[in-house]
A and B are shown apart, each in its own frame.
Chain A
Amino acid sequence: MNRSVQKYFPIFLLPTLIVFTVIFLAPFILGIYLSFCKFTTITDAVWIGFFNYPRLFEDIIFRHSFWYTVSFTIVTMMLINVLAFFVALALTKKLRGKNFFRTVFFIPNLIGGIILGYIWQLLLNGLLTFVGRTLTSSGKYGFWGLVFLLCWQQIGYMMIIYIAGIQNIPWELTEAAKIDGATYWQRIRHVVIPMVMPAFNVCTFLTLTNGLKLFDQNLALTHGAPSRMSEMLALNIYNTFYGRPGYEGVGQAKAVVFFLLVATIALIQHRITLSKEVKVTE
């Protein structure tokens, strides 16, 4: 069996590999190349070397977007994980209609970000009318609007992962803890949380990268208004690329910097949570 796997694995990998190359790897490499070019459409690029990179750091809005995105990611990462975990706890208890609730919580995930953004724009603006404000009155309204939107959308998804994690805990463990006289919260603190560490790892990774890469919701909900104060990194790159003639290369350079940033942060996060994971399973 092993031998045949060794023999045939390239054939099975091939379809995925082709698709991955065509729609991910090739554009990625092309993108890096374009960040050193001046161009209007990507087919007529002219090599200009490092010219685009210094200009990227002159952009004040880019710096603002950076900190805006980082704080957004931290807030959403914590909120989504904590809330999703507690919802998962509640829905793994013996509860009537828990499957129904699981579905309800999961459904927001099935709606596209653009549609969600526009729907919540209407709803949140409708609410804010009572205090005479809109989502774009200042960057803060947009920030919390986006936090709310992303939580609403992603808690259900992370909840499913946590539910799977909780259900995988051997019942002997909780049973033994119970017999030893551990209270409910002690069981959660010392049995459940350490045991769902793998799920926690996955969820943190997902929420972290989702927060950093957020685009659709940002575009639809606030479109960066007012004065680009609610513009996150991905939208900033998009606007640089499409909004300014002659800045296509700078937008591309921003995208490369953005990639390095997300990759570094995600790798560090993975290291940290993975080390925790190993400790508990030993």
Chain B
Amino acid sequence: MKKKTQKRNRLIALLLAGVTVISVFSGCGNRKKNKNSFWGNHKKTGKVYYLNFKPEQAEQWKELAAGYTKETGVKVEVETAASGTYESTLKSEMAKNEAPTMFQVKGPLGLFSEKDYCYDLSDSAVYKHVKSDDYVLKEKNKVVGIAYVIETYGIIYNKKILNRYFKLPDAEIHSISELNNFSTLKKVANGIQEHKNELGVRGAFTSAGMDPSSDWRYKIHLANLPIYYEYKDKGITSTDAIQGTYLNNYKQIFDLYIQDSTTDPFMLSSKTGEDAAFEFALGEAAFYQNGTWAYNDIKGNSVADEDLGMLPIYIGADGEEDQGLCTGCEYYWCVNKKASEEDIQATLDFMEWCITSEKGRKVISEEMGFITPFKTFEDYLPKNPLVKISEEYIQAGKFPVSWNFLTIPSVEWENGVGSALLEYAQKTGTWDAVVHAFVDGWKTEYTAVYGEESMIS
């Protein structure tokens, strides 16, 4: 009797152990099976995995991908990294077996050194459609990246509020055309701030939020101006050591942003990009430093499209009366060299479809509101009023400010300047710290990034 139960117990134990082991393995087994039937169909055609950078257009890319799959049967997966996490997401995604076949690098200083990851696009159809080589990223005669959107930023303003200001008895100027330098901008902003109750606003500028979702507007985009003027004076396009000759101007404009603002400078660390966009979209502030891409956040609220205007960012440099808006491209499309041949081909086809097909061009120009560097878009211009304004500045003969922030040595530099700006704004730090982060940080980071590269390889 005892023996019998022992035997039975042993049997049960064995069975249980067996089931446990099987259940562990079956997990993997199932997935494999699924994968085969799932990808099997597309093996010949390949597939596309696009890691998108812009959260603003996440939905439209998904729509475009679905449209392409419907038309051709090729599977297109689109993932969008959360704001400010593109680099880290890309880094972990690239290490996977199913790595992105299509991704973006940030200017010449992208994280992914081109030689290792970027497929040569010289023979691609997309490259043939680019208007000029100004919009491609080259390395040793190889086309490693192609810009797909030209963007412009400046100080977006609300015409309605300004018109109300112009009617005030003590208004400094009476028309927007008179606003073409820093000192006028300052007078107008001070005036609006002073009469904010009369004008029905909370401040002249939206909150200069220093939360990570917003601080790039100051540590990168605003920082472009002192860099631009310094390069211009010296006639250079990049440097290993910046002198900071225009940092006083940088201080001037930043001071204006944080003083004539909807928000107490102490609260800036908790203000987000959304906060600023809402303040502007709801008509609570007259000025908002941002770019053409911000239109999606603004439209459909209390500011009408015809009330939108955009001013150059005046910092008080000589000759700034003729300065235009800041125009450039920051992110470039790249194809993953390490992907399989079929996937590379599928990706190239998808890219071509995006810029040549009816649907692709419509979604990109109308829904995403992009102005692109491709010849195929002649008849497809976005409805975005901010884009039109940037065209007008160029036609009026104003000189566009190029995007020199692409030559910033590293993200670390940006973070250093950002932190110093915040501490300065909330008065826990001094302006000297900003100068230190800007000038000394540039040198340190440049050596860290480029010096070391040559040391090892």
Contacts and interface: CB of A to CB of B under 8 A. Distances in A.
A243 B212 contact: no
A239 to B, nearest CB: 8
B411 interface: yes
A243 B17 contact: no
Nearest to A238: B88
Interface in A135-186: 135-138
A228 B24 contact: no
Contacts of B210: 225
B264 interface: yes
B21 A134 contact: no
B422 A136 contact: yes
A223 interface: yes
Given A227-B423, A242-B91, A245-B449, A132 B20 contact: no
Given A4-B13, A40-B111, A227-B423, A15 B428 contact: no
Interface stretch (A43-51, A85-93, A209-217, A269-277): A43-51
A94 interface: no
B379 interface: no
30 contacts: A15-B21, A19-B24, A40-B113, A40-B117, A41-B91, A41-B92, A41-B95, A44-B116, A134-B266, A134-B270, A136-B269, A137-B266, A137-B426, A138-B428, A225-B422, A226-B422, A226-B429, A227-B419, A227-B420, A227-B422, A227-B423, A242-B87, A242-B91, A243-B412, A243-B415, A244-B410, A245-B410, A245-B411, A245-B449, A248-B91
Contact of B269 (A8, A40, A137): A137
Given A41-B94, A48-B456, A15 B20 contact: yes
B452 interface: yes
Given A132-B266, A134-B267, A137-B428, A8 B17 contact: yes
B218 to A, nearest CB: 14
Contact of B17 (A12, A223, A245): A12
> For the complex, would chain B's binding face be called helix, strand, loop or mixed by DSSP majority?
helix
A153 to B, nearest CB: 21
A138 B10 CA distance: 64
Given A243-B411, A243-B412, A51 B456 contact: yes
B47 to A, nearest CB: 20
The 8 A-B pairs of least Cβ separation, nearest first, read A242-B88, A227-B419, A136-B269, A41-B95, A11-B17, A41-B94, A15-B24, A132-B266
A74 interface: no
Nearest to A4: B10
Contacts of A137: 266, 269, 426, 428
A227 B270 CA distance: 14
A226 B95 contact: no
A227 B91 CA distance: 24
Contacts, number: 102
A121 B270 contact: yes
Contact of B449 (A121, A135, A246): A246
Contacts of A247: 448
A254 interface: no
A260 interface: no
A38 B88 contact: no
Interface in A103-149: 121, 125, 129, 132-138
B14 interface: yes
Interface of B: 9-10, 13-14, 17-18, 20-21, 23-24, 87-88, 91-92, 94-95, 111-113, 116-117, 210, 212, 264, 266-267, 269-270, 410-412, 415-416, 419-420, 422-423, 426, 428-429, 448-449, 452-453, 456
B456 A225 contact: no
Given A14-B21, A134-B267, A242-B88, 12 more contacts: A4-B10, A8-B17, A40-B111, A125-B270, A133-B266, A135-B270, A137-B266, A137-B428, A225-B210, A243-B412, A244-B448, A245-B411
A245 B117 CA distance: 14
B445 to A, nearest CB: 9
A262 interface: no
Contacts of A228: 415, 419
A186 B14 CA distance: 54
Contacts of A226: 269, 419, 422-423, 426, 428-429
B111 A8 contact: no
Contact of A246 (B17, B92, B452): B452
A11 B416 CA distance: 54
B141 to A, nearest CB: 23
A48 B453 CA distance: 13
Interface string A218-230: 0000010111100
B415 A136 contact: no
A226 B422 CA distance: 7
A129 B143 CA distance: 52
Residue from B210, B212, B269 with most neighbouring chain A CB atoms (10 Å): B269
A82 interface: no
A22 to B, nearest CB: 10
Nearest to B266: A132
A245 B429 contact: no
Contacts of B9: 4
B259 to A, nearest CB: 16
A226 B17 CA distance: 54
B333 to A, nearest CB: 19
A42 interface: yes
A18 interface: yes
A14 B18 CA distance: 10
Contacts of A134: 266-267, 269-270, 426
A136 B270 contact: yes
A221 to B, nearest CB: 11
A227 B13 contact: no
Contacts of B17: 8, 11-12, 14
B112 A40 contact: yes
A42 B419 CA distance: 30
Contacts of B112: 40
Residue from A41, A129, A135 with most neighbouring chain B CB atoms (10 Å): A41
B14 A8 contact: yes
Interface string A224-258: 01111000000000000011111110000000000
